[in-house]
Structure 1
């Protein structure tokens, strides 16, 4: 097994090279537009809608890029395997996995890629992607459903009105307890370019916001933000008459109080400048000191004509007293271990394979991946970041990561440790990295190969791990299914955050595949893991016609799975709260055992618990056969019911029951019943808990004068109705007729005759057809009457 190649010193001190460069002149401007909103929870949300973003390719073609168009040096290093490759899993496995792990926003706007980003505050998680945002509490309960990003700037009238152009960033400013959300506005009504920023009035992301709009001289692409003590800093790739980078500072103190005169200090770098796709530092934990500049970092590959692979650090010192005195200067060049940014030669490094498709995904391996996290400790400052590299010279994607330190000893920033994570033959890319207050580092990323659908995983290292090593075993947050076949775009970034409530728990959001792209939001820490526990819930009883939702619980588990002793089906057996549809065998047995199995993080840790689910039958109601009585008679009914708590007879007529709660009640027709010639009686069976729905059945009582009649239920007369139920056309056959005059009446449920047929002096069989197509759907009655008898059958028209 290959080990990480160690450098001679325990701590890797790389020479920092001070770099002199010409003084750059900033542009100072005020926000062109400002507005304060009502609370977000009270706004009229703008629902997510499909957006046409083809205009972006009209401004910058996907193939155009700062670095990839530069000359390529053939003898660039490394020649083959990455020198700091970690090609094995970490050995520390007994740490807990996800605390929360749920889906974020899906592709509700019909765009590619999602630009997945989100941050965690003291009580909320706020996710913002292309082109929608949503808010959850920290238990994973969604408080604000996905809405169009333009909702944050609703009512903010300007050239951007109606746009929702993307590249969003949302950050929690933990020092101020505020939220900062931003995206650009490019496809404007007058061709101008803007950065829209919304600052929450309080720490409540559902409250009011201050809306700002800052104008840019050209297309301000790929904005990346960082929270700092004196400004909100941002980097941009500017596309206009020439391609260049830009760095901006937005006046944080003014924006936090809703000052309409908030300013922006912009350094728009000249043509031919080196920086591209820079990242500004974004602090977690203890704020930087008041004299600490913000740091902007990017990398160069020696393949682009440089002497060695390197990280370059620029310092942004903003002066809000005299903004024109602000400076943006290159301060350090840090030599890294050799790396190879180029996984393949396809446009925009479309190099990542997927199962069952030739479509490959983009890596954006030409730049650092968001974010550049800064953290201040007592004796030193730290910055961590990452990018995608070819780990073996054969195009296998892995994640190169760095921890930089400044010990305040006059030497400035050094690379304290670095490594390249690629423990198997799957590609890992589009990473995001952060360090918590304990010095533990978490690294999240996408994973894919010809056999693995794009998924989300993470690894990490404890503070005492060997330098350059991710000593935690990899954890899969969500397994992907399927492949993205129509588009190459992926990412363009993800976000690893640290919970400010404990400065220990990590929150990560990333894209994955499952019938289209989706996003995942997960939280985890490195606490020692206990053995899994599981509770399937208490035994329960439900009505046999309902779907049951389980109420399982588990701790210290990597995953769970429901199984049944019967033949029912779970909607999502991997969910604690799964839906269960009972099967025929379940109902026949009257009960079924449901088992919840939890799989722990410790190898071999599997535990199960079961609950008994019993089924209560629904009521049965049978009112009896339709029949005929003489008009001066009462009728004793022959109702039948099962599984009922009680029964009740009701009439559509004006007759009376002697005991309407008895199955064998006696019914005496009223005057209206006799005039109408019939009456419908209804038997209702009421359920026993937990069933809720009553069941009814009807019987038609035909009332006849009975002059000279004999038994109306003559056994030698039969009636066949085919088909019954019918959609309209009905064939009838009357057998056993003996030289009689026959009258056929069709009645509705109110006893009204709607159709009559007469046959004179017939014998044997009567065959004919009824056309019921012109009558409404429902129940009708087919009444056959001679001088000697009456018979009635029910017709159902569907």
Structure 2
């Protein structure tokens, strides 16, 4: 699905489809005049025990390091947005406050108080950067990381024992979906209000990007099952960040442009596996000038259901604003800001959804100048000129929200250069952390802030991650480097503060988890770390981050707990069953208490966990059922509550009534569904157009090949499974809506939602085929498709721009019928349409070939030519009843002899030519020569530079052979093995391509098809000294 860019034209276009960019208004005003709406997305059920899935291959030292998706840097909206460097700003005094605490007697005594229990080390995956993330539930730890075979996750129990994985995200996606292509950037969040897991990764391609989302069916991520949802995005969703809220999953990313992107997803339906209502996309918060990489960060809920966000609290999105970097001469040199926005999602009436600016929050001056405002890797390491990337542009993962009863709290952190200069190359990296608070439904205000980086100017802290426990204590994780003695390579540690401590300082000292021992040379580092709090006690922190031992980076998952957080708050469960009147359990029923929900299992049993003492109303729901009682009031008071049972009755279903209307324009008819269902909804539609064509769309358009009368049938099925059909006769005529080459059709008009349809016959040999639309008023959209009428979602070309000036150039025209559609995005008139092409005479091709023989195998080389075009197809006849359409085929004859071989070639204008030659083969044994391989052949010393191929080798495999194997091994670098039957393999066409890191790869075939196998190696990274071996059992 595409999102179109809309221009403010003075006429308010459909709010549900377009949003207009505005400058940020006064606090409390909407910065979003609407929301862009996608398409509903159906769930795909994933019912698999993850222990049964293949494990992602491990990276080993010596293998190539592959770079993950690059951070996307777009041209800044205003490149010269910075305040001149000679103008001084107020200094950041917060590091001095931290130093005073660290040096005090009390500060010395408070060090080392947190207690740790579990420490899980994870080896490098051979990708830079790792992007490690972690979250925890009552019984599981889920850890995500980038990998050479795709983004993956691993599941541990709470003692650190591995239960499943590493499993690639893409292995869970359905076959054929764009999410089978993994990009990078894992997101893992435990939804504490629903007791479920939320996973997201970047998927698809740059031209067909996807948000790939997985929502667990239970708290058990190993065998409890998942729901998959794949949402299309208009641009590659670089560097996503997500937050859990009570009414939506909200995600942000870096897409470039004049505004930042925000997405909202239908949490309620996704938790139950229902069709997710259309994603809502906001792109109207103005981007900060001067940055080519930026994104908002959404708050995510932490806590239990008894401390869910109040109904009046909307989810918050924030960013830091170093106005010396963005506001030029209007910058305030005495303070900087946190920009804060709230998002309101209305799933029933999307036009009510909006992002609203809140009052900016003034904070102490910080400095985003790290050697400049655009270079990524800037933080020094000892003994190396390579530097680490502090991700200075955004508030880092995660922004954590808590409802602490008497007040609400948000904590976050970002990078700052403690060197105040805004020129030069001196970097003194620190972490600016902050806490915002809100009481009584008022505005968010700054409670406290600090800059953390103890030590001298050669000591650097970066890549923070932060969270709070249920007492309001704050923990801060980080990396540390130091370039002077005693040196520190990229190491991992944490600090923290008690809620009762003096504001603005981390009071619990620098607690190092693991120390590094080598410099990272890739320039990529970290990107994501994560801190979470264990829901079992709401006190224990879990964090993950990278550090750099020798060889390659590793990650470490660590838990720790502050001494004053106490014992776990008492929580309880409510359980029961949902069954029919005969006692048969009903699965898939959602039981909710208003803020927490769960789903019944196959026996109809359910349990709502982690409930504090209090009164709750339980309500079951499942489409097609009524329940008795409709709800239950239950009080939790110091004990688990059982026996909260419901009886479900399948509702009697009134069948739907099918009906439709239609309007014909030439050979094209547009159908409008008028069906109804008095006691439910229409769940699906099936159209039969009477000419073999069909559709499941609501209001399809269909173009017939010829004039005549057709019997059209619509069958509708309701949500209870009942169906009804209606049949009508549709007559279409060839009314002259046919475009002639170079002849313009003018004065075209249509009302919103309606279409005009044309056809154009294009002969063989046509070139420069182009369809142009222009002029008039309103907004028309041009669609072009070869061989069939285009639809809203199926077309060869659709520019989809604002206004009426659109063009569809067809690079390689096919002979036949092109179908052209002009659809009214809004009512238009006075539009012109032209189709044109150039036709020249054609010179027939010249067929020719050469051949060589080795034993019973003949190798053929096409030497055909076409003076005014190209050869588009070949037809070989080998004289023994066998044929091929390959360019340069090999053929194994069954017996020695002389055969008449013919080649027929066809050019791009349909002309043909043939040639016949005699080929002689003998029955001598295979003799390896050059690139010809035999059974048991070995080729040593293979090499190639990055992205280049070796020579192509061939092996003839006779009928009856078994256990065919091609193997590469040894050498240095990273070679990829490609094997194909009948033709040389390419990067997109192959029979086998293991595609692992390093040079140890095998392609095996237990029962191979007889014929000629083509083998070659491609350099993922420059390699040499590789050995290729072949074998089969005759």
Q: Equivalent residue for 1:441?
A: 474
Corresponding position of 1:160: 179
Larger Rg: 1
5 Å-filtered alignment, 1:478-627, equals 478-485=514-521, 487-514=522-549, 515-527=551-563
Alignment equivalent of 1:400, drawn from 432, 451, 462: 432
Corresponding position: 1:134 with 2:140 = no
Q: Are residues 1:102 and 2:146 paired?
A: no
User: Which residue in the other structure is 2:315 paired with?
Assistant: 294
Partner of 2:344: 317
User: Normalised by the size of structure 2, how large is the TM-score?
Assistant: 0.46
* Residue among 67, 74, 96 paired with 2:85: 74
Structure 1 residue 25: deviation in Å?
1.3
Determine the C-alpha separation between the residues in 2 that align with 1:509 and 1:232.
Answer: 22
Please tell me whether residue 195 in structure 1 is matched to residue 214 in structure 2.
Answer: no
SS at match of 2:562: coil
Q: Contact 1:182–1:198 (CA<8 Å) still a contact in 2?
A: yes
What residue number does 2:265 align with?
250
Inter-CA distance 454–52: structure 2 relative to 1 (3 Å threshold):
closer
Whole-angstrom CA distance in 2 between matches of 1:159 and 1:387: 33
1:526–1:39 distance in 2 versus 1, CA, 3 Å: same
Residue in 2 that maps onto 1:622: none
Task: Assess, with a 3 A threshold, how the Cα gap between structure 1 residues 164 and 465 changes in structure 2: closer, same or farther.
Answer: same
2:171 counterpart SS class: helix
CA displacement at 1:484 relative to structure 2: 1.0
Does structure 1 residue 471 correspond to structure 2 residue 513?
A: no
2 CA distance for matches of 1:167 and 1:420? 28
* Post-superposition CA distance 1:458-504 (Å, at most 9, x none): 0000111101011101110111111112x111110210111111010
Compute the TM-score of the two structures, normalised by the length of structure 1.
0.60
Deviation of 1:18 after TM superposition, in Å, equals 2.4
Measure the CA separation in 1 of the matches of 2:430 and 2:178. Answer: 42
CA distance, structure 2, for counterparts of residue 334 and residue 416 of structure 1: 10
SS of the residue 2:253 aligns to: strand
Counterparts in 2 of 1:295 and 1:312: CA distance versus 1, 3 Å:
same
Contact 2:501–2:507 at 8 Å: present in 1 too? yes
Which position in structure 1 is the counterpart of 2:921? none
1:25-104 to 2 correspondence within 5 Å?
A: 25-32=34-41, 34-41=43-50, 43-45=52-54, 47-48=56-57, 56-57=69-70, 62=73, 70-74=81-85, 78-83=89-94, 85=96, 86-87=98-99, 89=102, 90-91=107-108, 92-93=110-111, 95-104=113-122
Q: Which has the higher contact order (CA 8 A, sep 6+)?
A: 1
Q: Describe the shift of the 1:78–1:71 C-alpha distance in structure 2 as closer, same or farther (beyond 3 A).
A: closer
* Shift of residue 94, structure 1, vs aligned partner: 5.1
Q: Which structure 1 segments of 5+ residues have no match?
A: 1-15, 530-798
**What is aligned with 2:873?**
none
Using a 3 Å threshold, how does the CA distance of structure 1 residues 179 and 272 change in structure 2: closer, same or farther? closer
Q: Residues 33 and 214 of structure 1 are in contact (CA less than 8 Å); yes or no, is this contact kept in structure 2?
A: no
Q: 1:17 to 1:245 in 2, by over 3 A?
A: closer
2:240 maps to which of 210, 214, 223: 223
Distance (whole Å) between structure 2 residues aligned to residue 370 and residue 159 of structure 1? 26
Alignment match, 2:903: none
Alignment counterpart, residue 328 of structure 1, candidates 350, 355, 361: 355
The one of 283, 308, 312 aligned to 1:268: 283
- Post-superposition offset of 1:270: 7.0
CA RMSD of aligned residues (A): 2.7
Report Cα offsets for 1:427-476 as digits up to 9, x if no partner: 00110111100111000011112221101010000111101011101110
**Corresponding position of 1:350:** 377
Report deviation, 1:17.
7.7
- What is the distance in 2 between the residues matched to 1:66 and 1:139? 49
Matched with 2:450 is: 419
Is it true that 1:430 corresponds to 2:463 in the alignment? yes
Change (3 A) 1:383 1:272: closer
2:241/2:253 contact within 8 Å kept: yes
Q: Is 2:244–2:250's contact at 8 Å kept on the other side of the alignment? A: yes
Offset of 1:71 from its aligned partner?
Answer: 2.8
Asked whether the equivalents of residues 48 and 148 of structure 1 are also in contact (C-alpha less than 8 Å), the reply is no
- Going from structure 1 to structure 2, the CA distance change for 1:218 and 1:338 (only over 3 Å counts) comes to same
Deviation of 1:19 (Å):
5.2
Please state whether the residue corresponding to 1:170 is helix, strand or coil.
strand
CA contact (8 A) 2:42 2:274 kept: no
1:291 to partner: Cα distance? 3.1
Q: What is the number of equivalent residue pairs in this alignment? A: 503
- Matched with 1:360 is 387
Query: How much does 1:74 deviate?
Result: 2.2
1:586-619 Cα distance to aligned partner (Å, 9 max, x none): xxxxxxxxxxxxxxxxxxxxxxxxxxxxxxxxxx
Q: How far apart are the structure 1 equivalents of 2:36 and 2:499?
A: 42
Q: Is the 8 A contact 2:65 2:128 kept in 1?
A: no
- 1:259 corresponds to 2:274: yes
